[in-house]
Structure formats: C-alpha cells, structure tokens
Structure 1
C-alpha cells in the first residue's frame, strides 16, 4: 500500500452546495487519474454575504491548512477567484502549480462583477516561476471560449489547452489534468 505523498486542492465552480455536488464528478476523475500517491482535498465553499461570496477568505483558509508545496485546481468561478487570490498574495504562499479549468475573465461595469474582476496589472503580480495551466472547451456554454484568449494575452508564459469539446465540465474527465500534475 503506497502512502499519500502529494496533496492537491480542488476549488469548486459556481456557488454553494449544488455546484459543489456537480463538480464532485471532476474531483473523482482527477483523484482516479492521480492514483493513491495523491490526495485531492475538496472543501465545500459556502456562499457568504460578501461581494466575493467569501471566496478570497475561504481560499486563504484552505491553502493555509495544507502544508508544503501545493498544486491547486480551480474550476470556473473557483479558478478565477484562485487567480485573483494568488495575484493579491504572491509572497504569502508557495504553490507548485495552478490548474485553471473553464476560467471566466470577468469584465464589465456591473456592480456584482467588481469583486470578481482581476486588477489590470494582475499578471505582473503573479510569481513568474509559477506554472499556470489553462483548460477550456470550445463548446463551453457557460464561460465563453474567447476568455481563454484573453488570458493568453495577459499571461503569455502560461500553458494553454484549448479543447475541441467537453462543455463546461470537460466531459467530466480530468485524466489529462492528472497526467500533467504527475509530470511536475
């Protein structure tokens, strides 16, 4: 029996219990692809009555709980808030890599979006040696595929995986992400 030697934190997309349950299939696929030497941590991130739904505080709390270099995977809202958190706290944490799935690039002047938007200089605030991996499907019906290109303009050193199909949940198959994590 092999011991757990690597920890991966998965941050849900959307809001609340329903979206947490929907992303469980992604977590199960990732855990299956990683095998027994990895443990995928998947906390419920409940909505809080704050403009960012409490995500920045929750992400900080969850990352702080795990020791050592950490791989973090975020889906949708979880991915965008993870990127915001890391760009606002570049020296606070040591991460091994970020994997960002179906990541919205928040734009617009609507008041509700302001807490989700990245600052204009967010790319300059990220550690340049932090590996960033983006995965996005062309047929995503929730987050436009064009958002991947917006991240490409801001983060040219990142690794981008445009996928032909799979929708917002990447066909509930994260074997390619698991393989990339194991290759780190």
Structure 2
C-alpha cells in the first residue's frame, strides 16, 4: 500500500495553483511508493479560521491509517494549529512545515488562526517534525522560523540559502526527508 501524504497548500489568491507545482515536485521525487494528496482548501472569510481547520480535519479523516502531513506557508501554519487543537486517531509518520508563518499581533482577523500560547503541549511528542525555510523568502520572514525553532526544539531544521517563498518549485529536500522516515 502506498504511503499517503496530505499536502496542504498556501493561502492567498492563486495559492492552490502556485502550490500544485510544489505537490507535483513531491510526487516526482517520491515516486510510486507514495501518494501525494493535494486537495484545494477554500477560504470562507466569514469564519475566524477562514474555514480551514474543518476542511483539514475532513481531509485527514479521508486518509487510510497512517499519514504524513506536509504544508506550505498558510497551509503549514494551519496544519500546526489543527494538530495543536485536535487529536488525530491515525498514526502520523511525520510533519513537514514549509515556510510556515507565525501569526501574532492583536488584529481581529488573526484571532482564528493564531496558535495558543501552549500549543507545543498538545503536539504529540513522537511525531518527527521538519521545518524548512529559504533564507531569501520574500513572504515569510526568517524570524518566524526562529520562533518555531525555539518552540519546537525536537524539530529538524532545514535552512536553504535560496529558492524564495516557493522553493523554486523544488521540494526534493523534503522528499528526501520523507523517504528517511
């Protein structure tokens, strides 16, 4: 049976389309032993979390048995939020957070997407966590990666010198780490 990877794309206008190139890169690099699921998550701006947590939960429930979770940008931050607020009855083989923003500040629109102060207490300790960020990311500042490094000391951190926010549409390093599990 193929190992299933749920890839959650980034947000913003055109986020799904842009990140489909990242999901395709994972498919190509991982080969036939893996199935990369890349569902389109829809924004609902009437909900505090824009409707993402419910949709992520639904997608996780559709995966059989074991699961590998990966997310890019907004999708990565929402995967982390989902994991910190929900118990998943499936075995999670790994969590791969790519250019994850850290939402902070008091703006009303951020309330539904911010992590709780004790979010790390709710993340299962046996899940391998990988963090990725390009040093030339023009969207998510490196300070956000540093926040996660400080709060998730068990995480394996991959700082990449160049590739921008979209990693030059090349997730071969992520695929290599997935294969190492």
- Give the alignment's TM-score, normalised by structure 2: 0.96
Equivalent residues of 1:15, 1:45 under 8 A apart: no
Aligned to 2:115: 118
1:62 to 59, 62, 67: 59
Counterparts in 2 of 1:115 and 1:93: CA distance versus 1, 3 Å: farther
CA distance in 1: counterparts of 2:90 and 2:84, whole angstroms: 11
Gaps of 5+ in 2: none
Deviations 1:107-163 (A, max 9, x none): 100011111110000011111111110000111111101111100111111111111
Aligned to 2:160: 163
Aligned length: 180
Query: Relative to structure 2, which stretch is displaced further, 106-115 or 44-53?
Result: 44-53
For the aligned residue pairs, the C-alpha RMSD in angstroms reads 1.1
Equivalent residues of 1:10, 1:42 under 8 A apart: yes
CA distance in 2: counterparts of 1:157 and 1:175, whole angstroms: 22
Equivalent residues of 1:15, 1:46 under 8 A apart: no
Aligned to 2:34: 38
Secondary structure of 2:102's aligned partner: coil
Counterparts in 2 of 1:91 and 1:21: CA distance versus 1, 3 Å: closer
Aligned to 1:87: 84
Secondary structure of 1:136's aligned partner: strand
Secondary structure of 2:140's aligned partner: coil
Equivalent residues of 1:79, 1:100 under 8 A apart: yes
Equivalent residues of 1:139, 1:167 under 8 A apart: yes
Ranges of 4+ aligned residues in structure 1 off by more than 3 Å: 90-93
CA distance in 2: counterparts of 1:58 and 1:15, whole angstroms: 16
Secondary structure of 2:93's aligned partner: strand
Q: 1:21 aligned to 2:17? A: yes
